Amino acid sequence: MFRRPFVTFKLLTLCVTLLPFGGCLMGGPSYFPAAPLSATVDASNRAIDVYDTDRDGTGDYSELRSADGRVRLLRFASAGETQEVAFPPQAGEGRQVPQLALVLDSVPFNLVQAAYTSGRFRLFHPPTRIISPFPVMTDICLDEFFRTSPAPGMETEYYDGTETTDGWELYDVQANSPWLASVDWHLPYSRHNQVYMSPRNGFAAELSRIERALADAPGHRLVAYCVGTSAIGFRQSQRGHEWALEQVDRFCHMLVHRMHGDIEITLLSDHGHNLVASRSIGLRERIKDLGYRLARELNDDNDVIVLDFGLVNCAGLHTRQPVKLASELVQEEGVELALYRDSDDGVMVASRDGLARVQRCAEGWRYDCEYGDPLQLVDVVAGLRDSGDVSDDGCIDDAALFAATISHVYPDPLDRCWHAFHGLIAHAPDVYLSLSDGWHWGSPFLDHSVKVAATHGNLNAPSSTGFVMTTAGDLPRTVRMRDLASDLAGIGVSLQDGQLVARSAD
C-alpha cells in the first residue's frame, strides 16, 4: 500500500541531500580546448583547426575538415614530427574499434541542429531527428530503443490493478527501468536529486565518470547514460542545454585526441524538451470539483487515481469511467488532448472541440473524426489521399503518414497515440492527458520547491523530438525511436547485452 508518511520522510531527506554535495560527484572531465589557436584553409580547400592541447602556447594537434565540414584527418605534432591519422577509424580483420554510445537525457533536436550548423560536432555526420513514443517519458523511450518494453508503469508511481506503488521508493531502486540492463554506466537514481540541485557540476561529474569508465572498459567500448542534461534543461532551459552541448562537443574532441583517432562515438537523446516555463495545472482540485473521489485504489465507479510523481506536461489517470472523465477534463485550461481506449481496441483522442478514433489497419492507420479534428490531420490525410496513399476504405499508409507528419505539431501522431495503450506500459493508465506547453503536472512537493524552465511528456513536437548522430555513418533524416537500433546496426553500431558489438570488417 502507498505510504504517505514514508513519502513525507523521503521528501524531507531529499531536501537535505539537495544541499551542495560533496566529493562523490565533484570534478569534471579532461575537456578539450574551447577554441583553436588558429583556423585556416589549405590549398585543397580543407579547413584546418590547430589546437594547443598541452597548453604550452604552441599548436600540437590539428583537425582537417573536408568540403562538407566534417573532420576527416587528424594531425599530431610531437618532437618535430607530424603524424596524420584518417578519421573515423576503420575496423580491420578481427579488430574491434573502441566505441562510446552516450545517451543524453532530454536534449532537443533543434538545439543540436543549430549547434551543428554553427560548426560544432563536426566529428559527426549530421544529426538525425528521433520521434519518441508517447507519453514522452525516459523509461518508455529508452525501453523502446533498447527493445526492453514494456516498462511496468508510466513512471515509478503506477497503479497495478490492486494498489498504487510508492514512486519514490521504486525510483531509488530503479524499478521502472528495464532498459538499464543494457547500459554499462549510469549514475544511481538515488543520486539524481544531487544533479538536479547543481546541474552543471553534476553533469560535469557524470562526464568525468564516463571518461574513467571508458578507459577501464574491455576494448574501450561503453554504453553510458547522463541525467545531467535533463536537469540542466529543466532548471536553465535553452541556455543550459546550449552550455551542455558545448561541453559534450569538447568532451568528444578530447576522447578523439586522447585515443589518437581510434574511437567511434554515438550520441543520442531519449526525447526533447519544450524549453517553456510552466505552472501546475492543479489537477487534483479540478477532479474533486467535478465530483470524483481521489483514491489510491479503484473500489468505486467514482474513484479516480491521479499519478503525480515527476513534473511533466502529461498525466496518467486510472478510472472506471474513462469516457466521462476524459470528456470533462479536456475542457479544462491547460489540457490540450485526452486519450482513452474504446471498446474495439482503438484509441479515442479528444480535444476541447474535437473527437476522433485511431485504429490500426492492414497497411497503417485509420483516423475517423466524429467531430472536429483533434490531431489536426484532416488536411494532411486529404493530401495523402490525392497522392494515392489512402486506400478506398480509408486506410492511411504508415510510411507516407510518418513522412508527412515529421514536422507536424504532433509528429507521427496516430502511431504514437495507438501504441500508448498497446505494448509500451504494462500497467497503462485508463486516460492520458497531453497538456499544453506552459503547463505541467506532478509532485506537489517538487512543484513548490523548484521552478520549471522546461519539461517534456506531451504529444507536441518540442517534447517529442530528440536526436542521434554518430561518427560511424549517415542515418535517415528522421527515425522512430523503436527503429533506431536497427538503423544504427545498419552502419555498424550494434548494442547487445549492454556492450557495443564490433563492426564487421570493411
Name the segment(s) of the chain with CATH classification 3.40.720.10.
95-276+462-501
pLDDT tens for 471-504 read: 999 999 999 999 999 999 999 998 765 555 544 3
Residue 380 has pLDDT above 50, yes or no: yes
Residue 234 has pLDDT above 60, yes or no: yes
**Radius of gyration in angstroms for the set of CA atoms belonging to the chain, rounded to a whole number:** 24
Residue 30 has pLDDT above 80, yes or no: yes
Please provide the DSSP assignment of 59-88 as one string. Answer: --EEEEE-TTS-EEEEEEEETTEEEEEESS
At residue 259 the predicted structure's pLDDT band, cuts being 50, 70 and 90, is: very high
What's the maximum distance between 2 C-alpha atoms anywhere in the chain?
82
Q: Where is average pLDDT lowest: 2-16, 72-86, 151-165, 306-320?
A: 2-16
pLDDT the model gives residue 496 = 63
Q: HEC string of 388-399?
A: CCECCCCCEEHH
CA distance 326 to 319: 10
Closest of 329, 309, 313 to residue 135, by C-alpha: 313
Residue 8 has pLDDT above 80, yes or no: no
Residue 19 has pLDDT above 70, yes or no: no
At residue 95 the predicted structure's pLDDT band, cuts being 50, 70 and 90, is: confident
Residue 161 has pLDDT above 90, yes or no: yes
* Beta-bridge mates of residue 317: 306, 431
Closest of 199, 226, 253 to residue 87, by C-alpha: 253
Q: Which amino acid is residue 433, in one-letter code?
A: L
Residue 76 has pLDDT above 60, yes or no: yes
pLDDT the model gives residue 502 = 47
pLDDT the model gives residue 471 = 97
Contact criterion met (CB below 8 Å) for 178 and 9: no
* Beta-bridge mates of residue 315: 433
What's 219's DSSP letter?
G
CA distance 344 to 421: 13
Closest of 189, 148, 182, 172 to residue 426, by C-alpha: 148
pLDDT the model gives residue 16 = 37
**Average pLDDT of the segment spanning 160-169:** 93
CA distance 450 to 14: 13
**Average pLDDT of the segment spanning 26-51:** 89
**Average pLDDT of the segment spanning 144-154:** 96
pLDDT the model gives residue 43 = 83
Share of the chain above pLDDT 70, in %: 92
The pTM of the full predicted model, rounded to 2 decimals, is 0.93
Residue with cell 513548490: 448
Q: Give the DSSP H or E segment for 294.
A: strand 293-294
What average pLDDT does the chain have? 91
Residue 14 has pLDDT above 70, yes or no: no
**Average pLDDT of the segment spanning 69-84:** 92
pLDDT tens for 316-338 read: 999 999 999 999 999 999 999 99
Residues with Cβ < 8 Å from 450, sequence gap 6 or more?
196, 234, 235, 311
What is the CA 358 to chain-centroid distance, rounded?
Answer: 25
Residue 143 has pLDDT above 80, yes or no: yes
**Average pLDDT of the segment spanning 14-43:** 69
pLDDT the model gives residue 44 = 83
Residue 343 has pLDDT above 60, yes or no: yes
pLDDT tens for 396-416 read: 999 999 999 999 999 999 999
pLDDT the model gives residue 93 = 60
Q: Which amino acid is residue 454, in one-letter code?
A: A
**Cell output for 269:** 537523446
Q: HEC string of 318-363?
A: EECCHHHHHHHHCCCCCEEEEEEECCCCCEEEEECCEEEEEEEECC
Contact criterion met (CB below 8 Å) for 164 and 158: yes
CATH code: domain 95-276+462-501 is 3.40.720.10
pLDDT tens for 203-226 read: 999 999 999 999 999 999 999 999
Q: Give the DSSP H or E segment for 203.
A: helix 199-216
- Of residues 447 and 368, which shows the higher confidence score? 368
Residue 33 has pLDDT above 90, yes or no: yes
pLDDT the model gives residue 4 = 38
pLDDT the model gives residue 235 = 96
Residues with Cβ < 8 Å from 427, sequence gap 6 or more?
152, 153, 158, 159, 160, 161
Q: CB neighbours (10 Å) of residue 467?
A: 23
Closest of 137, 159, 164 to residue 149, by C-alpha: 137
